[in-house]
Amino acid sequence: MNTSTTGPYSCVILDDEPIITKIIERYISNMENLELKGSFTDPIDTMAAFKEFDKIDFLFLDIEMNVSGFDVARMLRSSVRFIVFVSSHSTYSIDNLSNADRLLVKPVDFRAFHDTVNELISGENRR
């Protein structure tokens, strides 16, 4: 696991909407301390890929897919430093999302993405 305060921090995206994965891929590429390890639209493919990964720093994870993002988060929690749920439903709140470190509401803008990533990194570095 990367313990550097500057990165690169490894990232994986899982969202069944290809346009969302492309947007988050672009956001990751615009932050020099982030490195994309994989981008997926299928939860089963993601689970299989995690067998090949070392511990991942960030998992950007959709909630409502053919396999619940809650289930994916529970299964991958020990392999991920930070889980950031990405949802189009603003009815969710971080308080009722177990296994998540943050929630981003679609459409995700770059400023919210950037601030969320930096808050998580900064919070861990203060520990």
For residue 16, how many other CB atoms are within 10 A of its CB? 16
Average pLDDT over residues 70-78: 93
> Does the pLDDT value for residue 2 go beyond 50?
no
User: What fold is seen in the domain 9-125?
Assistant: Rossmann fold (3.40.50)
Buried b (16+ CB within 10 A) or exposed e, 76-102: beeebbbbbbbbeeeebeeeebebbbb
Extract the tokens encoding 25.
């891929």
All residues at 6 or more sequence positions from 90 whose CB lies less than 8 Å from its CB, including other chains:
105
The answer to whether 110 and 44 are in contact (CB under 8 A) is no
User: Tens digit of pLDDT for each residue in 47-71?
Assistant: 999 999 989 999 999 998 999 898 9
Tokens 């991958």 appear where?
Answer: 76
Average pLDDT over residues 33-56: 95
Average pLDDT over residues 93-122: 86
Q: What global pTM score does this model have?
A: 0.88
The answer to whether 23 and 108 are in contact (CB under 8 A) is yes
Extract the tokens encoding 72.
């994916």
The answer to whether 9 and 2 are in contact (CB under 8 A) is yes
Top-confidence residue, 1 or 110: 110
Top-confidence residue, 65 or 5: 65
> Does the pLDDT value for residue 97 go beyond 80?
no
